[in-house]
Amino acid sequence: MGYRAETYRLVTDELARRREKALSDAEANRQIFHGESPEAAELDAALSQTAKRIFEAALDGGDVERKVAAIRRENEQMLAVRRELLASLGHPADFTDPHYTCPLCADTGYVLTRMCACMKELLQLESLRAGGVANADTQTFDTFSLKYYHTPEERSLMKQTLAAAKDFAECFKPGRENLLLMGGTGLGKTHLSTAIARTVISRGYDVIYETAQAIISDFEYDHFRNSYSNETGRAEKYLKTDLLILDDLGTEFGGQFTLSCLYQIVNTRLVRGLSTVISTNLTAQELNERYDTRLTSRFLGNYRVLRFVGQDIRQQSLSERKE
Ligand SMILES: [Zn+2]
């Protein structure tokens, strides 16, 4: 998956920040250690000469092997003394070592020439954020609470919806399933869409999460741009990504062009064996009135409908905070 230059920059900045913090914390601890014992500073000064002494022994010639072995033994002894000194001052053995967020790559983002898993995840989270998904960190399946759904019927239906969304994400394979999330505003559709995006990304698939209006705008841009332009189309990615999450169907501007774009997205992705999650505030009847049956029959036949019921969660948590 391609990322924007800005996304790369934010991620490499974050990795550099983590690395610098690990190193400066280690240096601060070294200063503490040296301040606590004069012997500590002497030991570290002597230890820092080891490489230089081995190099000089090699240059001197003679019985190099024996000389180098002696230097190494001395080095080991100094390290043992240092460990004892740290322990006697009540510090752990790795007190002055850098503690990286990711020990695998030491917060460089790379293990040899391969991109580390920590950097991949950061890139995808950042691209979700760049795509307008504000709460990619906090809106997970674990934080989805059923306490806002009051009647037993509501709670049992939302429990099924949550389980189905989780299953979709955890067993995701392109083309395995498509979802249509239906229900009013503030009933958790965005929360579960975000959790789906996060989980599918962490399993290594490409995900695009975008509003219907923004997607249609990209199709319009391609449609009206100079046909001699070498620029690749903006809309192509919506037809290629493993998972497209199309948010807020029904809020885009209507018209024949929009209808044909939506049909193209839904149909092409079905034909290509790719998965789509669509969320909408519209009821089944409103969907039928707004779009033609060519589109809505595609949903009926190929999408699993997950219903969202209850009262607006945002209103409820606002009044909870006021209490
Ligand atoms: Zn890493």
Query: Along the 323 residues of the chain, how does pLDDT read in single tens digits?
Result: 456 677 889 999 999 999 999 999 999 999 999 999 999 999 999 999 999 999 998 888 888 899 999 999 999 999 999 999 999 999 999 999 999 999 999 999 999 989 998 898 888 788 777 766 767 778 889 999 888 888 999 999 999 999 999 999 999 999 999 999 999 988 999 999 999 998 888 787 888 889 999 999 999 998 888 666 667 788 998 999 999 999 999 999 888 999 999 999 999 999 999 999 999 999 989 998 999 888 888 888 899 999 999 887 777 776 666 54
Kindly give the distance from the C-alpha atom of residue 15 to the centroid of ligand 1, in angstroms, as a whole number.
Answer: 9
pLDDT value of position 16:
96
C-alpha distances out from residue 323 to 81, 149, 314, Å:
60, 19, 14
Kindly give the distance from the C-alpha atom of residue 8 to the centroid of ligand 1, in angstroms, as a whole number.
Answer: 15
Kindly give the distance from the C-alpha atom of residue 203 to the centroid of ligand 1, in angstroms, as a whole number.
Answer: 16
Compute, in degrees rounded to 10, the torsion defined by CA atoms 190, 192, 195, 201: -80
Dist. CA 159–CA 184, nearest whole Å:
17
pLDDT value of position 294:
87
Kindly give the distance from the C-alpha atom of residue 123 to the centroid of ligand 1, in angstroms, as a whole number.
Answer: 12
Kindly give the distance from the C-alpha atom of residue 80 to the centroid of ligand 1, in angstroms, as a whole number.
Answer: 30
Kindly give the distance from the C-alpha atom of residue 118 to the centroid of ligand 1, in angstroms, as a whole number.
Answer: 4
pLDDT value of position 186:
85
Kindly give the distance from the C-alpha atom of residue 115 to the centroid of ligand 1, in angstroms, as a whole number.
Answer: 8
3-state class percentages of the chain: helix first, strand second, coil last, to nearest 5: 60, 10, 30
Dist. CA 73–CA 89, nearest whole Å:
25
Kindly give the distance from the C-alpha atom of residue 197 to the centroid of ligand 1, in angstroms, as a whole number.
Answer: 21
Kindly give the distance from the C-alpha atom of residue 120 to the centroid of ligand 1, in angstroms, as a whole number.
Answer: 9
Kindly give the distance from the C-alpha atom of residue 279 to the centroid of ligand 1, in angstroms, as a whole number.
Answer: 34
Kindly give the distance from the C-alpha atom of residue 126 to the centroid of ligand 1, in angstroms, as a whole number.
Answer: 16
Q: What is the pTM of this model?
A: 0.69
pLDDT value of position 224:
84
